[in-house]
Amino acid sequence: MDYNAVAKRVIADVGEDNLIAAAHCATRLRLVLKDDTKVNQAALDKDPDVKGTFKTDGQYQIIIGPGDVDNVYDELIKMTGLKEVSTDDLKKIAANGKKVNPVMAFIKLLSDIFVPIIPALVAGGLLMALNNFFTSAGLFGAKSLVEMNPAIKGLSDMIQVMSAAPFMFLPVLVGMSAAKRFGANQFLGAAIGLIMTTPQLGGAAKYWNIFGLHVAQTQYTYQVIPVLAAIWLLAFLEKRLHKVLPSAVDFTFTPLLSVMITGFLTFTVIGPVMKTVSDWITNGFVWLYNTAGFVGMGLFGLCYSAIVMTGLHQSFPAIETQLIAAFASGKGAGDFIFVVASMANVAQGAATFAIWFLTKNKKMKGLASSAGVSALLGITEPALFGVNLKYRFPFFCALIGSGFGAALAGLTQVKAASLGSAGFLGFLSIYPKTIPMYVVCELVAFAIAFALTIVWGKGHLKEEVETVEAPVSAEEETAAEEAPAASQSAEKDEVILAPVAGEAEDLSKVNDEVFSKKLMGDGAAIVPSEGAIYSPITGTVNVAFKTGHAYGLKSDDGAEILIHVGLDTVNLGGKHFKSLVSQDQHVEKGQKLGEVDLEAVKAEGYDTTVMVIVTNTPAYSEISQTKESQVKAGDSLLALTAK
């Protein structure tokens, strides 16, 4: 890579006079700009040395890659005369003068609380759907499967218990997650949730007589809003008590007083008031669903993807949880928001696939194919921001398809019994009797969005594509064709080992879109349980960051691997990290690369997830994760199949 040339192109594309400050991390340039709209996005998109761009937290970030980004940054600083700053300083510069949107801050708060507990709700909901297959009449005959086969009644009853538990004791799950978010002890949060759902409560009809005050023994099973308010109070009390109580008694009396005061106020004030608010909200949405009918569903479907663009959809899990909990207790109509989201996601995916058929741009074809599949499985951001909004008309065609699909779903009373993947696989979350119509509605949404995009695109896409494409010289075209062939011929099939011990998980779960959307390449993530970092390959250390938070390796068989320890941990400047290798050093599989104090990094407020990325992913026909469970350092993690 010609670092000087890349830096010149970046400066030209973002505008030298538009630059306020610049920093870099292990993979990307991080820029603060005066006006993001002045960026020549089309030029950056076609730049062969730029792997992607995105905006977040007031920063415009350009992905260059490990081992190259620091050199490009050095050239950029020389050319512009900007002062070198750390990524931490850059965040402060980006935030300077910007007001916090209270609505978005509240939505982010809800998202932080509910996203971690969604897997438990998905499991419970899918078990509920499975039990519905056993107990619903008319699916496989006039009678239910349980009635026709009494031998499976015991299994059905067991599944019913398992499916109901996550919703019945929802305050415990919310209590733990909210306590973590509000800065309280998670186990005290769980304790409050347990207190609110304990079977020893006699119900609203019974009460405690406390000095003449009658306090109802209300159970708060299936509730969300009352426990959120209670945990906020718990966190407030715990923090204040830690400050005012002497250390000699703090350990004992802070938990005691926090739980006792919170519990008393929950049963006397917070619980009754917030339960009323919760009932109003749930009943209001059910009333809206019943009153607006298929017209309301259609309008919701027409707007849903636009709502996703604003981020407001992140507040929906809090509402959906209430709807599903009410459905689980036999009082609600089910989750109609999930149904609308599925229609919208499928429609955006259909429009993206239509662009794949229409475009002659090879880079866009590759992006459209992967983004389209992602949208059909419930993740639309790559399709929305990477394809449809670039051309605009596919986005609006998808809105129309989504509106028709959602309206048909409302007309046929399609409803969800659980959360899940809001796409074609979403049928697993749908109430069994309405699954056939759910599939029909999705096909309608897909067909309309796809057809509209094709028809409109034939007359409007050509001109837009030509503005995106740039002329390529014969020399550049030849180099571009020969370079991949040369690099790919060197790679061999290979197994990449786990560099750390911990819980292996899919890369899509990482809370950073550079990794979760695989902009740097395919790979896997590990939530580490130990701080020792080992080499996953036998090869050479291409990049050894002084901060110790990332390593770039190239195996003797050709795989180029990035190990990134934690998210935004570059801000620590090497604090809590220790690197044991140097650049160009040859290492063996299992050789220790470095160490990290995980607890200290967590205490600083950073996510310690370790990403293992194959940065030359295009050189392989397949990259598969061999294990998504507990791993030890040295276990097989990724299998690479060369082209």
The answer to whether the beta carbons of residues 167 and 329 sit under 8 Å apart is yes
Report the C-alpha gap between 97 and 523 in whole angstroms.
38
Report the C-alpha gap between 277 and 327 in whole angstroms.
18
Burial level of 69, CB count in 10 A (0-12/13-18/19+)?
A: buried
Backbone angles phi, psi at 141, to 5 degrees: 160, -175
What would the pLDDT profile of 594-639 be if each residue is shown by its tens digit? 999 998 888 887 889 999 999 888 888 888 887 667 889 988 888 8
Report the C-alpha gap between 185 and 302 in whole angstroms.
42
Burial level of 72, CB count in 10 A (0-12/13-18/19+)?
A: buried
Which of left, alpha, beta for 57 (phi over 0: left; psi -120 to 50: alpha)?
A: left
Is 60 exceeded by the pLDDT of residue 399? yes
The helix/strand/coil state of 494 is strand
DSSP designation for 136: -
What is the pairing mode between strands 577-579 and 592-596? Answer: antiparallel
The answer to whether the beta carbons of residues 217 and 207 sit under 8 Å apart is yes
CA 127 to chain CA mean position, Å: 23
What would the pLDDT profile of 272-308 be if each residue is shown by its tens digit? 998 888 778 767 777 777 787 888 888 888 888 877 7
For residue 630, CA distances in Å to 194, 381, 527, 609 come to 29, 29, 9, 14
What would the pLDDT profile of 421-450 be if each residue is shown by its tens digit? 777 777 777 877 788 899 999 999 999 999
Backbone angles phi, psi at 483, to 5 degrees: -60, -50
Nearest to 526, CA basis, from 598, 600, 603, 617: 598
Total residues found in the chain within this entry = 643
Question: CB-side exposure of 328: number of CA atoms within 13 Å?
Answer: 31
Written as one string, the DSSP assignment of 404-471 is: HHHHHHHHTT--BSS---SSGGGGGGB-GGGHHHHHHHHHHHHHHHHHHHHHHHHHHHHHHHHHH---
| pLDDT mean over 169-179 | 89
All residues at 6 or more sequence positions from 308 whose CB lies less than 8 Å from its CB, including other chains: 344, 380, 381, 384
Report the C-alpha gap between 218 and 224 in whole angstroms.
14
Sign of the alpha-carbon torsion through 194, 200, 202, 208: negative
DSSP designation for 581: -
Amino acid at 153: K
Is 70 exceeded by the pLDDT of residue 100? no
Report the C-alpha gap between 453 and 455 in whole angstroms.
6
470-493: b (≥16 Cβ within 10 Å) or e: eeeeeeeeeeeeeeeeeebeebee
Cα angle 489-493-498, degrees, rounded to a multiple of 5:
130
Query: What is the average pLDDT score of the chain?
Result: 81
pLDDT of residue 472: 41
Rg (CA), the chain: 27
Is 70 exceeded by the pLDDT of residue 467? no
> Is 549 a known active-site residue?
no
All residues at 6 or more sequence positions from 310 whose CB lies less than 8 Å from its CB, including other chains: none
Report the C-alpha gap between 530 and 547 in whole angstroms.
19
Of 24, 313, 549, 564, the catalytic one is: 564
Is 50 exceeded by the pLDDT of residue 488? no
- Residue 27: CB atoms within 10 A of its CB come to 28
Which range has the top average pLDDT, 168-177, 320-329, 365-374, 400-409? 400-409
| pLDDT mean over 26-44 | 83
State pTM to two decimals.
Answer: 0.52
Report the C-alpha gap between 1 and 9 in whole angstroms.
13
pLDDT of residue 88: 67
3-state helix/strand/coil string of 189-214: HHHHHHHHHCCCCCEEEEEEEECCEE
pLDDT of residue 232: 92
Written as one string, the DSSP assignment of 539-565 is: EEEEEE-TTSSEEEEEETTS-EEEEEE
In terms of pLDDT, which residue wins out, 504 or 130? 504
For residue 494, CA distances in Å to 342, 507, 509, 553, 634 come to 37, 19, 24, 14, 14
Beta bridge partners, 53, equal 62
> Is 303 a known active-site residue?
no
pLDDT band at 397 (very low <50, low <70, confident <90, very high): very high
Report the C-alpha gap between 238 and 250 in whole angstroms.
10
The answer to whether the beta carbons of residues 339 and 403 sit under 8 Å apart is no
pLDDT band at 481 (very low <50, low <70, confident <90, very high): very low
How many angstroms separate the first and last alpha carbons of the chain? 24
The answer to whether the beta carbons of residues 219 and 197 sit under 8 Å apart is yes
Of 25, 313, 397, 441, the catalytic one is: 25
Burial level of 83, CB count in 10 A (0-12/13-18/19+)?
A: exposed
